[in-house]
Amino acid sequence: MTTLTHLECSVCGKIHEAGKAHNLCECGSPLLVRYDLEKARNGWSREWLASGPSSMWRYAPVLPVSKPVSMISLGEGWTPLIKADRFGQAAGLPDLWVKDEGLNPTGSFKARGLSCCVSMAHELGLKKLAIGSAGNAASALAAYAAAAGLEAHIFMPRDVPQANYIECKAFGARVTLVDGLISDCGRIVNERKQAEGWFDVNTLKEPYRIEGKKTMGYEVAEQMQWKLPDAILYPTGGGVGLIGMWKAFAEMQALGWTAGKKPKMIAVQAEGCQPVVRAWQQGVERTTFWENAATLSAGLRVPKPLGDFLILRAVRESGGTCIAVSDGASLEAGTELARLDGIFAAPEGAACFAALPALRASGALKDTDKIVVYNTGAGLKYLEAYSTRFPRTIDSEADKLGGLVTPR
């Protein structure tokens, strides 16, 4: 099983002991999980993966759970990598692929992080977990907490998509809607957790969600026969998936599983909330709070990601870039992708497709690049957003058969 050795602060480098519940380092920064990769390199082979589970737990030696019985799994990860053939041709980028995270439990990539987080909470004996979420992380926490028999206390913006609301309620979570943004939700958890006895599982406030999400990086390597793509486009709200993949690429090099150039990491944000893009353009290492954040890509509405410096570092080290697109362009690209390749992406994933023309024009992407876009969720979870494009009125049904038909 795991080769975990310790936790290490991402800023001050302080070592923290494994086997206990941790939030941030005393210096206020996120902790990263470290493994004995030498041991893993000697005692484990990538050839053995095919006989492991068809989920992210196939990478158990580089995941933190120490006992199989602690694993809370609903089938997360090992999602399909699909060629977006027609969209790629139309965009002049013919080697374009989608990692379809919509096929996870609760319909989003958040399942990976929360499966790992809740498994560790279960292993460490925690009972009450609390989160502020734009929606999908809440759904995933609610599902895994239900499966583990733990309490989930959830704070979401009042205008969270209905899918997330219904999921959380169905999973039996304690749901509070907040007249504010994810940053307000996170703050409420922070203010109340001590009195309530909650363990804070907000983004990067505990070290294990990133470990679940890094498996998106392991999988793309395995699915591409250990030759990493030239570029990865990642819709960046909290950015933990991007940070996690960058960590995975380093780990895989240490394991001797991959060699050579790592992918250009490209962070895609929404025009209405682009703190990472602004920091990138200013050449600074930290973001500043994005005022009046507004985008229908609920997962991108993160005004100041806690891991901003880790996102920006990965983008810089990889030779990537940061870019923002409009909501209209995202929905348009999402609809095109669905129409051309049969994949119905969340607006966050669609934003990456919307960014392709500008990235190609600027030279950030070459026509011959092998490109992987992470579609972080199912379009199904965003019916409100896509309904604006497809209003369900009788007139709008009018196809060549004349719309609504009343049979004899």
Q: Residue 257: which residues within 8 A CB-CB, separation 6 or more?
A: 46, 221, 226
- Sheet of strand 96-100: strand arrangement: 81-83, 96-100, 371-375, 231-235, 264-270, 321-325
> Which is nearer to a copy of itself, 20 or 392 (by Cβ)?
392
Minimum distance of a copy of itself from residue 172's CB (angstroms): 4
Residue 352 binds a copy of itself (CB under 8 A): no
Q: Out of 104, 133, 202, 376, which residue is the one contacting a copy of itself (CB under 8 A)?
A: 104
Q: Residue 362: which residues within 8 A CB-CB, separation 6 or more?
A: 321
Minimum distance of a copy of itself from residue 47's CB (angstroms): 11
Residue 340 binds a copy of itself (CB under 8 A): yes
Q: What part of residues 376-395 is at the interface with a copy of itself (CB under 8 A)?
A: 378-381, 383, 386-387, 389-390, 392, 394
> Which is nearer to a copy of itself, 163 or 233 (by Cβ)?
163
Alpha carbons 56 and 223: distance in angstroms, whole number: 13
Q: What part of residues 176-195 is at the interface with a copy of itself (CB under 8 A)?
A: 176-180, 184, 187-188, 192
Residue 234 binds a copy of itself (CB under 8 A): no
Minimum distance of a copy of itself from residue 68's CB (angstroms): 13
Q: What part of residues 110-169 is at the interface with a copy of itself (CB under 8 A)?
A: 142-149, 155, 158, 162-163, 165-167, 169
User: CA neighbours within 13 Å on the CB side: how many for 228?
Assistant: 23
> Which is nearer to a copy of itself, 141 or 312 (by Cβ)?
141
Residues 168, 138 contacting (CB under 8 angstroms): yes
Which residue type does 247 have? K
Q: How far is CA 367 from CA 146, 227, 229, 271, in A?
A: 46, 18, 13, 25
Residue 397 binds a copy of itself (CB under 8 A): yes
Residue 20 binds a copy of itself (CB under 8 A): no
Contact region with a copy of itself (CB under 8 A), list: 25-33, 97-105, 267-275, 315-323: 97-105
Site string for a copy of itself, 360-379 (x = CB under 8 A): ------------------xx
Other residues' Cβ atoms within 10 Å of the Cβ of residue 275: 24
341 alpha carbon, distance to own chain's centre: 22
Residue 175 binds a copy of itself (CB under 8 A): yes
Q: Out of 45, 286, 342, 367, which residue is the one contacting a copy of itself (CB under 8 A)?
A: 342
Q: Out of 343, 351, 355, 371, which residue is the one contacting a copy of itself (CB under 8 A)?
A: 343
> Which is nearer to a copy of itself, 166 or 284 (by Cβ)?
166
> Which is nearer to a copy of itself, 6 or 174 (by Cβ)?
174
Start-end of H helices in 107-258 = 110-123, 136-148, 162-170, 182-196, 209-223, 240-254
Alpha carbons 70 and 337: distance in angstroms, whole number: 39
User: Which of 322, 314, 333 minimizes the C-alpha distance to 273?
Assistant: 322
Q: What part of residues 270-309 is at the interface with a copy of itself (CB under 8 A)?
A: none
What DSSP line would sit under 78-122, residue for residue? ---EEE-HHHHHHHT--SEEEEEGGGSGGGBTHHHHHHHHHHHHH
Site string for a copy of itself, 42-61 (x = CB under 8 A): --------xx--xx------
Minimum distance of a copy of itself from residue 389's CB (angstroms): 8
